[in-house]
Structure 1
Amino acid sequence: MSSISTEELEQKVEAGEEVIDRYFDPTTTKVGIPRPMTSRRRQDLVTTSLDIPGPMLDELDQMAGELNISRQAVIKMMLRRALDEHHLAKRTAP
């Protein structure tokens, strides 16, 4: 594994360079609970409708703008984080 500064890593990610295999050791790098990768093929996706209050939608749009990603990507990211936290809480509960 190569050593790299945070700033250099961010620049490579922003440039679209693949950094996972080169700069991260999967045996020691752990974030949350490992989940199998989901396919992005169209037939694996399910479209759903979601009613969201206006102020919450404004917050999501603001976050999307700050992260320079779509509203849909923000919602997916937040749902994934919530699901990971839920699974982790279940695992560590007495």
Structure 2
Amino acid sequence: MSQAAAVTRTYPLAPGASVNVRSGPGTHYPVVRTIPAGQSVPIRCQCQGESVSGYYGTSTIWDNIANAQFVSDAYVHTGSDGYAAPQCS
């Protein structure tokens, strides 16, 4: 198991919200899938991207949940307004 896989935690999405997963850190990237309400997501790393206003406020942080799959941190309950995972390289 890689070190990144060993430290990956899952975080709940905003209550009642289905969340679009995009191919990059911004709303101009295509939607690759939608995660239904009530799910949790793994955060592999986080990066700066487009500012989004969501359930947990406004954030420019995007969470990488899988290869080329990003969700806005404004819809993920990480318990932090800043980075909750390593920054993507």
TM-score class, shorter: under 0.3
Identify which of structures 1 and 2 has the higher relative contact order when contacts are C-alpha pairs closer than 8 Å and 6+ apart.
2
TM-score using structure 2 length: 0.21
Higher relative strand content:
2
Higher relative helix content:
1
Please tell me whether Structure 1 or Structure 2 has the larger radius of gyration of its CA atoms. Answer: 1
